[in-house]
Each structure stands twice: as C-alpha cells, then as structure tokens.
Chains A and B, each alone.
Chain A
Amino acid sequence: MKTAALLLMGAALLAAQPIDRTKPPQTPPLAAYKLPPVIERTLPNGLTVILVEDKRFPLVSLRMDFQAGKKFDPAGLEGLSEMTAALLKEGTRKRSSRQIAEELASIGGALNGFAASDGLGISGNALSEHTSKLLELLADLVRNATFPQEEVNLRKQNRKQELAAARAQAETIADEKFFSVVYGKHPYSRMLPTDASIDKITRDALVGFRDQYLAPNNAFLVLLGDLPAQADLQKLLNANFGDWAKKEIPKPAAVPIPPAKRQLVLVDRPGSVQADIRVGRVAVNRSNPDYFPLLLGSGVLGTGSSSRLFLTVREEKGWAYDVHTEIQPHREGGIFEVETQVRNEVVEPAVDELLKQLRQMGAAPVSASELSTIKNFLSGVFVISLETQGGLLGQLSGVRSEGLPTEYLEKYVTRIQAVDPAQIEAVARKYLVPDQDTIVVVGDAAQIGKALEKTGKFIVEKSPQ
C-alpha cells in the first residue's frame, strides 16, 4: 500500500546514517498510509454492507451490528440485550446449538454475539474457502434464532455465576459503581445485569427483543479479507439477506445524560489490601468537535508511560503499579475517567495528586514535546491496529456503531495532527474540572475511610457481595 518513492527514501536515509551510539538515530517521518479501499452499498431492504479486500491470508472476518445494545434493555430486564446476543448461536429453526458449533468448527470459524452500550452484534471469521458457509450461518443466526428454553435456563444460571465471579473483583465493582453514578437515570448507567433482572428474563422476552430490533434496516455488516469476486459475493449477500424483511424500529424515549457533578462514593470491601480509584465524568461522543482535543489531553495526562500521571503517581511516588486515563466514546455521550489502584496507606494523597494533575491540565498549555509524543503515539497505534483483519474490523465497526461515516478513519490521523495546545487547554477547562468529577473508591472502609474524609464527604456503600 505504501508508495515506492517513500520506501526508497526510507532506505536511502538508513544507508547514509553513521552510527553514533550516544544519540538516538535519525529516522524518516511516518509514511503516509492509505486505508485499503472501503466499498459500501445498501441492499433494498436497508442492510448496509461494508466490504474491504485483504488477500494476505486465506481468511475472512465479519461483524454485523444492530442498534440494540444494552441501553435498549427495558427497566428491570437488564441483561436482555446481552442474553439475546449470547443465545443467537444456541439454536435456530434450521440448526441445533450443537450443529451450529460443529459446522462453525468445520469451516475453521467462529461467530460470537456481544452487546455493548449502544450496539448488539455478532462477529466472527473463517477460512476464506468457506466464506459462503459463514454467511449462511450468520444469516441463520440473526434471522432464525429460536432461543430454546433449556439454553435460556443454562445461560441464566451461568450468567449469574459469571457475574458473581466478576463482582468478586474490586475493579468490576469500581467500574460498575462509577457508571451508575455518572450516568444517573440514563440507561448507560446499567453496565451489568443483576441476579434479579436475569431471573425475570424469559424466552418470550428474548424473542420479543429479537423481533423488535434485529432487522436489516437497523443493521450494518462489515465483511473483509480474502473475499470472493464481486459478482459472486453479491449473489451470496442476496441469497442470504435479500429476502429479509424491513421493519419499523421503535424509538425508545430519549433520556438526557445528566450534567457532570461532584459525587463521592466509597464502596466498602472489607479485607481489600488496596483501593481501586475512579475519578471522572460524562464527556463527549466522537462526533463532538471537542473529542480530538480531549483525546489528546487525556493522553498527555494518562496514556502510556510518558504521561504525567504515570511519571508522578507510579514513577516518582511509587504509589501505584498502573494509573491511566480512559475516554469511552459512547454514541450519546462518552466518559472521561482516571483509573488506578493504590495501597491503602496512600489513598488520600493519591486522590489528591490525581485532582491536582487534572487541575493542572487546564492551568497551562501542554508542552511541545508532550504534544508531539501523544500525536505520534495515537497515530502509530492506529496504523498498527490496521495490521490484522480483526483490527481493521474493529475500527470500521466501531465508528459505524457510533453513527459515524467510514471516512472518519481516513481523516483520523490528520485530525490528531491538527490539534494545538490552546485547544487542549480549552477542553481541559471544560471537562477536566476536579470540582465536577465523580470519585468512586472501592476498598476497606475501616482502613481508608478516615483518610478520605480530607477529600470530602463520601457516601459509604456496601460491596455488592
């Protein structure tokens, strides 16, 4: 994909370079890399199909997404979307669960359902000689799933065990509480189901959810790899999805995302030898003009081992093994957060330091070297993610599921390179404001409760188990 001219230039620079070991060698700039061509078409029934050719390996990868993620779960039935996704491959009108598993293994393939906040989907891959079979199975799963009663029972039982195992980890408790506090009444606040909500899920509810949301006009399909010739592929798509009927999709009542405000919660987990800390708030989605400056600002503060938080909290103070920031871009409004785990004795100075570093982001522009570090980092990570089919699939599906055009990826690196320090400072003053941040700490209240009083008045809650 890279142009010959650029390659030759790189070679010349390398050859001409004398070896001076005292300094890092000079290297040419990052070559411009064009994404492989993305072909997009829509079938008459409204199904959007996105195709990318990649002949390096005899493999194909695909993902079909519906706007039917966890936020569409009716109140009290949390877990319905994820269970619908999980059970798609456990029986259809044409195949038993066992047949599906065996046929998939026979094509060197997999198909797995998942549910995120916004989207419900199914992703998979196979040896490319079996592309036609993979599409046939995908169509059978999304169109004909029957949710057999014994599979529903088993899934409910095992999901409760999985949740118990997940909630045995302080990290899960912290994430769950953080989401529930910052998103308030918005359905994004319900990250995980409860035993009670799982108990209420019935086969009828699953069939109903599927009938309501799994329709071609509510979906897109990304298919990439060593694809059949265009005409053959079109035939396959028509045969498997052409007669799939369009449907009226109900629009759930819009719930506004609550404004960011300071809320302090301590989840008591007796016996914890360390404290899990989350500091953050609701921020923006990827179509917001503030997104790129915030992504870079968040990166300077807490992405990677050159970041401010890593250098202070981990390297200078030695308080934490890991400390990092995250931007999670949900379709209706993402979150910004700082995550770390510190030992009990230093919980208060650690929280104080996080708040100090957040404040600092809006107090002065980031340095030129911090800026170039984060720009090169984000651009490089992006290019590297395109090395595998799974990486490209994730990038394409990710932007589409948030309602963005695929050309978003074409412009990604350019947009990152265009951000300046003033923009970062401006978004920092808007979003990295400690007074508006929610703080969730999970730890042994008897050990850390007193120290945290210096930060403010924490509501103390019991650990879920």
Chain B
Amino acid sequence: MRTLLIALCSALSLLAADPRVPIERYKLPNGMRVVLSPDNTTPVVTVYMIFDVGARMEQKGRSGFAHLFEHMMFQGSKNAPKGMHDKIVESNGGFLNGSTHGDYTDYFETLPSNKLALSLWLESDRMRGLDITAENLKNQQEAVKQERRMRVDNQPYALATVELWPALAFRNWGNSHSIIGSFEDLNAASVGDVSQFFKTFYAPNNAVLVMCGDIRIPEAKKLVDSYFADIPAQPSPKAPDLLEPPQTAPRWETTKDPQARVPAVFIGYPGPKRRSPDYYALMMIDLVLTGGDSSRFQLDLVKGKQSVIQFESNLGWPFGSFTDYKEPGVYGMNMLHNPNFNAKQIVGQVEEQIARLQKDLVPQAELDRIRTFFRSYRMNQLQSSNSRATQLGQYELLDGNPDFINTEMALYLAVTPEQIRDTARKVFVRQRQTVLEVVPAPEPAKKEEK
C-alpha cells in the first residue's frame, strides 16, 4: 500500500508542471455536443467533427458503406456544390480530411484562424443536407473501388491486415467484416441507403463539434449558434449488437501473399474493457514490450535473437489504438521477421516475453523509464491544434469526458508492477490467441472481381 501511494505521488508531482489544455464544453438544444479549446499562439484553428457511426454499425451485405458514405460527404451540399468544400479549405491554405473507423467517422479542417467561420459554414451546410444523386454515388463507388485496388489489392500485407485478420479474430459479422468493403457490397449500395444513413447517423445529436486553436470563446459560441442551433435532432440510432462469443481455442491461419517479400506474423488476444484497470495496465505492458528503442522486443528480439525485423502493436490494431479502442477488440501485434525463423518460432519468442511479464514484476527503473517515455510522447501529441482537437473529440464521443486529455495520464502513471503482472496473466491466455501467418509467395495475383 505504501509503495502504491509513493508511486502515485511521484507520478502526480511529475505532472504538476505539465501544461493544461483549456476546455469549455456544452450542448446545443438539438443535442449537438460542443468542445472549445483556445490557444492563441499560432494563427491556426482546427474544426473537428466526429459522428457516432462507424464500420461496425454497417448492415450485412453493405460492407464498406460507412466509408463510402464518408466519400459522399465531399460530393456537395445545399449551398456548397461538389468540389467547393475542398476548394474553399485549400484555397485558404488549410487542409482537410475524413476518416472512417470501426466505431466513429470523423472530419476536420485545419485552417489559418481568420477562416474559422468558413469552416463552420461548410460543416453546418453538409449537416443540413447532402447532394445525394445516383451520379455522385456511382462516381464515389468507382473512387472507393480504385482506393481499394491501390491500398489493398496492390499492397503487400494489406489484404491480410484489412480482411483476413478481422475475419480470423472475430466471429460477429459486425466486427469481422472489412472497413473497405467488398466490390459486390460496394456496388449494391443505393441512393436510398445513402439518404437513410445520413438522416439517422449524421444528425446533430449524433455528433460532437470541436474547435481548437486560435479562437475566442464568445465569438466561437456565437458562430456555433448561428450555424448549427436550428438543425433538427433525429431519433437516436440503436446501438449495434457487437457481442463476441468467448474464444475457447487458439486460432492459426496461414496465407500466401504474392506481393510480400518478407514473412510476417500477426498475433492477437481479446482486449479488456475501455478504461478498466486492465486497459491502463495493458498500455503499460505495450510500452514495456514495444515502446521505443529500449523496449523488450527491440532489445531482445530485434537485437538479441535477431529474429524480428520490425514490429508494431496496439490495442485495436490495425485500425485502432489505445486512444480510440472500444471493446470488443483485440490487442494485436504485427511482427515482420527474418526468414531464417519460422512463424512458430516467432510466436514462441513473443510468448516467452509474455511469460516473463506474467512471472516477474517489471523492475522499477524500467517502469520509471517507460513512464517518462510515455509522458513525453503524450506531450508531443498536444502540440498541434489538429491533434488536440482529435483527442478532445474522441474523448467526448467515446467517454463523455474531454478532460481526459488532462487527467488520464495520472491513471496510466499509477499502474503498478503487480497490476502489470496480473493483467498480463488475464489478457494473454493461450486459448484466446489468434495468429495469422503471412508467407511471401511471389506469383501473379489472381484476377479481381468487377
């Protein structure tokens, strides 16, 4: 108990000097949540919108629809015809994008701060109504198919990552289908699907608006009111059933990748509940194993055994991370390895590392090191308005508490060596292991479906 208190105290005193991100948070009468965070040092502002809808809410037979819809958000709205959104943001020196995730879809504009009103005008105009036509839909179906050809079908490891991995790691279709979608499902999407999806999921009560950077609160509030307050709310959508049946036996599959030249192994275990004590402890485990040049994988596997060439890992890998993870999900590791070792040996070496965590307490010096490493990493993530806005929006949407940007570090730093050991024992269980082995197989790729 005493050591715990000391650990917590030293962790908190470390944090005392860290800068605080200011937050003003409120809700419009139509249910739209708003988070404002001023920082006037550089004349830059980010407007970030996050919607409570992602690929895991897609209907069977419509894989890829959330992402296809995201493309439709750039096809024009009532007063801003097709192309205008990009043109306005870019011609004013900003950049923008949208991205589709398992549990949410987000959009941002980062602009010189004198252009704040333009960004709000654009976002509110498309929340009021999209230009949903057969022609626009067809055009974007083609664009997404081309994106798939480029990013999935013509890239090494991509098919394994995007399609085979979720299909192996999950049993519920909501979790196991690919975010990019199949050609067949993409072709099947109709204009009616798009309208219905828009009405249900892109209503103000299903959204969070974040403004971060060179803003002033009174003017910012006035602008939000003028542009968004009179957009009507819609009935709240039903939460999807994403429940996974418990995994009772390890899964192992091997796939041949004609584009890969170096073998890879993906290893995963079902992750804990977001923001549970195990969640924070697993983050510290991830840092011990994979955080930087002094991590155990780097020192023992890349250097010591010289078996692994590159590794990456995350809770929610490959599309998510600790920040936006939501259960059910998987803690995944991707090990690109030396062909002189086979996949079984690599998995064995990872299991040895895990066994060590389950048996011995992480030494205090090592834990202190990764705490500092992590604190610095998170501090770096606060520098740009875009990164702060993204974090604030995700915390508001997923946790209902944007102040986690300031407070959650203390929760990570309070994790003890004992908790790390206990969480390792709980999470890394052989019968819940999933392995996908990617074997390079240089041969012509098979023909795509049209």
Residues in chain A within 8 A of chain B (CB atoms): 1-2, 7, 10-11, 14-15, 17, 19, 21-25, 27-31, 33, 56-59, 89, 97-98, 100-102, 104-110, 125-127, 154, 157-158, 161-162, 164-165, 167-170, 270-274, 304-306, 311, 314-315, 318, 320-322, 341, 343, 369, 372-373, 376-384, 386-391, 465
Q: Which residue of the partner chain, among A31, A58, A98, A322, contacts B299 with CB atoms under 8 Å?
A: A98
Pair A125/B380 contact, Cβ less than 8 Å: yes
Pair B19/A57 contact, Cβ less than 8 Å: yes
* Interfacial chain B residues near A127, Cβ < 8 Å: 372, 375-376, 379
Pair A465/B261 contact, Cβ less than 8 Å: yes
* Interfacial chain B residues near A318, Cβ < 8 Å: 139, 142-143, 146
* Interfacial chain A residues near B91, Cβ < 8 Å: 306, 369, 372-373, 376-377
Whether A27 contacts B86 in the complex (CB less than 8 A), given A57-B19, A383-B43, comes out as no
Nearest CB in chain B to that of A153: its residue: B306
* Interfacial chain A residues near B41, Cβ < 8 Å: 1, 56
Give chain A's interface secondary structure class.
mixed
Per CB-CB distance, the 7 closest pairs between chain A and chain B, nearest first, are A380-B93, A108-B376, A271-B444, A101-B293, A101-B294, A373-B91, A305-B86
* Interfacial chain B residues near A315, Cβ < 8 Å: 83, 139
Q: Which residue of the partner chain, among B88, B113, B298, B302, contacts A24 with CB atoms under 8 Å?
A: B88
Any A CB within 8 A of the CB of B54 = no
Pair B226/A387 contact, Cβ less than 8 Å: no
Cα A104 to Cα B112 with chains together (Å): 35
Nearest chain B CB to A409's CB is how many angstroms away? 14
Pair B43/A33 contact, Cβ less than 8 Å: yes
* Interfacial chain A residues near B139, Cβ < 8 Å: 315, 318
Any A CB within 8 A of the CB of B309 = yes
* Interfacial chain B residues near A104, Cβ < 8 Å: 292-294
Whether A14 contacts B156 in the complex (CB less than 8 A), given A107-B372, A273-B445, A376-B91, comes out as no
Binary interface encoding of chain B residues 333-370 relative to chain A, with 1 for a CB under 8 A from any of its CBs, else 0: 00010110000000000000000000000000000111
A-B contact pairs, 29 of them (CB 8 A): A10-B113, A14-B222, A23-B79, A24-B122, A27-B118, A29-B114, A30-B43, A30-B93, A31-B113, A31-B114, A101-B294, A101-B298, A102-B369, A105-B369, A126-B376, A154-B306, A158-B302, A162-B310, A169-B156, A305-B87, A306-B86, A373-B87, A377-B91, A380-B94, A383-B112, A384-B44, A387-B44, A387-B385, A391-B384
Could you say which of A31, A33, A108 has the most chain B C-beta atoms within 10 Å of its C-beta?
Answer: A108
Apart from the given pairs A110-B292, A314-B143, 20 other A-B contacts in the complex at a CB distance below 8 Å: A1-B41, A14-B117, A19-B226, A21-B78, A27-B114, A30-B112, A58-B379, A100-B293, A105-B294, A105-B370, A106-B372, A125-B380, A154-B306, A165-B262, A169-B156, A271-B444, A321-B149, A373-B90, A384-B44, A384-B95
Pair B87/A57 contact, Cβ less than 8 Å: no
Cα A210 to Cα B443 with chains together (Å): 42
Nearest CB in chain B to that of A103: its residue: B294
Any A CB within 8 A of the CB of B237 = no
Whether A11 contacts B379 in the complex (CB less than 8 A), given A305-B87, A373-B87, A373-B90, comes out as no
Pair A57/B379 contact, Cβ less than 8 Å: yes
Cα A19 to Cα B124 with chains together (Å): 12
* Interfacial chain B residues near A381, Cβ < 8 Å: 93, 95
* Interfacial chain A residues near B149, Cβ < 8 Å: 273-274, 321, 343
Residues in chain B within 8 A of chain A (CB atoms): 17-19, 39-44, 78-80, 83, 86-88, 90-95, 110-118, 121-122, 124-125, 139, 142-143, 146-147, 149-150, 153-156, 214, 216, 219, 222-223, 226-227, 258-262, 291-294, 298-299, 302-303, 306, 309-310, 336, 338-339, 368-370, 372-373, 375-377, 379-380, 382-385, 440, 442-445, 448
Pair B261/A101 contact, Cβ less than 8 Å: no
Whether A30 contacts B114 in the complex (CB less than 8 A), given A168-B156, A341-B150, A383-B43, comes out as yes
Pair A161/B262 contact, Cβ less than 8 Å: yes
Nearest chain B CB to A118's CB is how many angstroms away? 26
Pair B155/A169 contact, Cβ less than 8 Å: yes
Nearest CB in chain A to that of B120: its residue: A25
* Interfacial chain A residues near B336, Cβ < 8 Å: 161, 165
Nearest chain B CB to A281's CB is how many angstroms away? 25
Whether A59 contacts B219 in the complex (CB less than 8 A), given A31-B114, A376-B91, comes out as no
Cα A381 to Cα B324 with chains together (Å): 27
Cα A180 to Cα B382 with chains together (Å): 41
Cα A126 to Cα B87 with chains together (Å): 38
Whether A168 contacts B259 in the complex (CB less than 8 A), given A21-B79, A27-B114, A31-B43, comes out as yes
Pair A273/B153 contact, Cβ less than 8 Å: yes
* Interfacial chain B residues near A21, Cβ < 8 Å: 78-79, 121, 124-125, 227
Nearest CB in chain A to that of B153: its residue: A273
Cα A350 to Cα B156 with chains together (Å): 25
Pair A167/B146 contact, Cβ less than 8 Å: no
* Interfacial chain B residues near A157, Cβ < 8 Å: 306, 338
Pair A101/B110 contact, Cβ less than 8 Å: no
Q: Which residue of the partner chain, among B18, B117, B150, B222, contacts A321 with CB atoms under 8 Å?
A: B150
Whether A161 contacts B338 in the complex (CB less than 8 A), given A21-B125, A168-B259, A376-B92, comes out as yes
* Interfacial chain A residues near B385, Cβ < 8 Å: 387
Nearest chain A CB to B183's CB is how many angstroms away? 12
Nearest CB in chain A to that of B260: its residue: A168
